[in-house]
Amino acid sequence: MKKLLIANWKMHYGPIKAGAWIRAFRRERLPKDVDIAVAVPFVSLAAARASLGRASIPALAAQNVFWAEEGAFTGEISPSMLKEFGTEYCLVGHSERRAHLGETDEMVQKKAAALQKAGIIPVICVGETEAQRKRGEANKVVRAQVQAAITDLKMDGKVPVAIAYEPVWAIGSGKPCTAQEAKQMHEVIRVVLQKKLGAGADEIRIIYGGSVDLRNVSEYVTTTGIDGCLVGGASLDPRNFGLLCRAANPA
């Protein structure tokens, strides 16, 4: 399975800066054996696509979606709208959305299913808070998040899905979870996927996110069971993200 690296710009870069980022990133020497995507704000999808043209590296990703196809949902964006930009991936349930916008497991589940139906790969974000980890509830919390999110997903002949394990305490904190801690949680997640989805579950990439940078990325991607990384802060500079992608390339 190829490793997957996703840049998550979060709320950075409108169309002007997005276009410049894509052009600069495309000048980097990018590895062929790593799948690379960039999750941009909705308003920057068009500019990112224009800078990419027909190129598919990096693949385009969105950071959120709504589950209905169209209708009276002011301010929301549907999977088919994302498709118009050739969007290949979409994050769902990022902990910042869960924390600031009240996104629930039920919403995450509906969004993931709607994306899969539209042919966009949902990247389902899960992770425990520091308090939950201290109370010894990390496995239970993450298991429940994954179970809820995959309720309506299908494996047969459908676009795959991906899971991003992002412990909340490791995001933007400079305190990354160790590769061994991440590996343990990825094993917990893998079991949940296998129970629900059978053999097809082994095709699902489980990536790690939370303070990934140039110094630690290779440790994550060389650890068995970690299928790539979701990178926030360290992806804002295109040069740096290019270096990170190279560091994730299998030797």
Quote the radius of gyration of the chain (alpha carbons, Å). 17
User: Burial of 53 by CB count in 10 Å (0-12 exposed, 13-18 middle, 19+ buried)?
Assistant: exposed
- Given the DSSP bridges, would you call strands 228-231 and 205-209 parallel, antiparallel or unpaired? parallel
Q: Does 248 bind ligand PGA (CB under 6 A)?
A: no
62 binds ligand PGA (CB under 6 A): no
Contact set for ligand PGA, span 205-224 (CB under 6 A): 209-212
93 near ligand PGA, judged by CB under 6 A: no
Binding mask 96-115 for ligand PGA (x = CB under 6 A): --------------------
Rounded distance between C-alpha atoms, residue 62 and residue 9, angstroms: 10
In the complex, what is the shortest distance from the CB of residue 13 to ligand PGA, in angstroms, rounded to a whole number? Answer: 14
d(CA 119, CA 123): 13
Number of chain positions touching ligand PGA (CB under 6 A): 13
* Residue of minimal Cβ distance to ligand PGA: 232
Question: Taking the mean position of all CA atoms in its chain, how far away is CA 169?
Answer: 17
Could you count the other beta carbons within 10 Å of the beta carbon of residue 172? 12
Query: Is 247 an interacting residue with respect to ligand PGA (CB under 6 A)?
Result: no
In this chain, which of 83, 233, 243, 249 binds ligand PGA, going by CB under 6 A? 233
> Largest Cα–Cα distance of the chain, in whole Å?
51
Q: Among 189, 105, 90, which Cα is nearest to 152's?
A: 105
Of 166, 177, 205, 248, the one binding ligand PGA (CB under 6 A) is 166
User: How far is residue 197 CA from its own chain's centroid?
Assistant: 20
- Residue 127 binds to ligand PGA (criterion: CB under 6 A): no
In the list 14, 160, 172, 198, the residue contacting ligand PGA (rule: CB under 6 A) is: 172
- What is the set of active-site residues? 94, 166
By CB under 6 A, residue 41 contacts ligand PGA: no
- Give the footprint of ligand PGA on this chain (CB under 6 A): 8, 166, 171-172, 209-212, 230-234
